[in-house]
Structure 1
Amino acid sequence: MMNNRIEVLRGLLNYHYYTYKLRDSEQVPGVWKKATLLILLSGLVFGVSAYFGIGSEYLSKQLTSVSRAEYEMQKLLFMIGQTILGLFFGAVMIFLPALFFWTLSDLELKKLVAVQLFVIPVLLLEKVLVIPLAILLGLTEISSPFSLGILAQYITGNEFLIQLLSTMSIFKLWIIFIEYKYLKMLMERNPKIILVIVISINLIIWLFAALFSFIQFEKIL
């Protein structure tokens, strides 16, 4: 019996080696534990981002209209809310694609969750890299140099389209690449069909993320 403990960084950087191990293993121990840790890490990253005021531009507008105590309370509530959002984000990005892939294959759910464990660090890395850019250059998340958000702001005034394109970045292409490489080996189906499946679930996630951000944007206005 092959015992294949999940090594997130190794699986992320050496997918050629790890696809064979993941495919041929009879057991995949440590999946739920690592999923929980990555979800908690996601909450922490979102909380740290909120601590530095990223995404809280609407609070700055209220600085002169509310008391200092009320302003600090709103900042605290914002940070708590973003931390909870980070936990939700981590859980969704691990389990939603895994469940989607599971319905289209005969693979064990654990193995598909394991694939998503390699995706989360990439998404969190993007979030972390935006923090210094926001602090030092004042860039908002939709103006990240890693995404199409900047280009979108030049070609359209449609806020939803801007939000949608800002969710598409080089990091998102990276996770599509990771999911495609693993699923092509694990599912053993036509590579073109695998690519369509991977792109489809990611497009759905981007659309919902853009819709959520757009709704939040409208509330701020």
Structure 2
Amino acid sequence: MQKDCDEMTYYARLFRMISQTKDESFRLNKAEEVKGIWKITVILSLVSMVIYGIMAFLGVGSEEISKNGLLLSSADFEASKLWFVLGRMFYGLLFAAIVIFLPSLLFYLLTGVPYKKLVVIQHTALIVVLVERLLWIPLALFAGLSWYVSPLSFGIIASYITSIPWFVYFFGAISLFQLWIIYFQANFLAKYSDVRSRFVWLNVILIHFLGWVIASVIANVDSYIISGWFG
């Protein structure tokens, strides 16, 4: 009886869905109860805050502050860097919440798969995204590359085609990590929901497309926001 009860309960764990995707997806689909999602959500949110805080502390994305450094007093410049780090940490928290909960809601409305199970799927997606963010750090520090011209994204190809910032940002948001996430999400939803596979894939790609558009818009206005705060 205890064994049957355990088989009906899925315990969310970090990295398990990545290392044992097929088996874990099957167990998650069969489970009648999902436990541990809030613990994992809190952990990933804190990790996201730390990663974005480290990136800001190391100066990744702080070009506008550096430009205005000579115009500020030492105290004002240090204060601006502190607010920049705190702002990025808050962004990291907001980013984690959006990645975990918003697609889960959209996928729930699309397929009817239980919301908690979709949150587990988004935990995995967020882990992959955060790994990508970590790879941005050495690329920025040692190669001088911004995120949108990462060799793992299509932005570097777009930069050779055009100098239009929005266009480069858009394709810079499309990376090998993002393509894996699309495959992972669509494959799970198509296999374990009653919705037609083509419809699932189309909608998952559309949701990511809208995300890339939003990311490119935010990147395009980010420098104006920073210069307005710290200029």
**TM-score > 0.5 by shorter chain:** yes
Match of 2:53 in 1: 47
How far 1:188 moved relative to its partner? 3.5
How far 1:169 moved relative to its partner? 0.6
Deviation string 1:123-160 (CA, Å, 9 cap, x unpaired) is 00000011011111211122211111211111112111
How far 1:181 moved relative to its partner? 2.0
What secondary structure sits across from 1:73 in the alignment? helix
Structure 2 matches for 1:126-145, cutoff 5 A?
Answer: 126-145=132-151
Match of 1:180 in 2: 186
CA contact (8 A) 1:15 1:181 kept: no
What secondary structure sits across from 1:7 in the alignment? coil
CA contact (8 A) 1:19 1:185 kept: no
Match of 2:107 in 1: 101
What secondary structure sits across from 1:20 in the alignment? helix
Match of 1:197 in 2: 203
d(CA) in 2 for partners of 1:155 and 1:218? Answer: 25
Letter in 2 for 1:99: L
Q: Among residues 119, 123, 135, which one is paired with 1:117 in the alignment?
A: 123
Q: 2:227 matched to 1:217?
A: no
CA contact (8 A) 2:136 2:147 kept: yes
How far 1:218 moved relative to its partner? 4.2
Q: 2:29 matched to 1:27?
A: no
Runs of 4+ in 1 over 3 A off after TM superposition: 217-221
What secondary structure sits across from 1:28 in the alignment? strand
CA contact (8 A) 1:15 1:182 kept: no
Gaps of 5+ in 2: none
Identity value in percent: 33
Q: Judge which range, 87-96 or 202-211, deviates more.
A: 202-211
Aligned residues: 221
Q: Among residues 56, 61, 81, which one is paired with 2:62 in the alignment?
A: 56
TM-score, normalised via structure 2 length: 0.91
Q: Judge which range, 139-148 or 170-179, deviates more.
A: 139-148
TM-score, normalised via structure 1 length: 0.95
What's the RMSD between the two structures over aligned residues? 1.4
Letter in 1 for 2:104: A
CA contact (8 A) 1:23 1:185 kept: no
Q: Judge which range, 93-102 or 151-160, deviates more.
A: 151-160
Match of 2:88 in 1: 82
d(CA) in 1 for partners of 2:70 and 2:151? Answer: 31
CA contact (8 A) 1:97 1:116 kept: yes
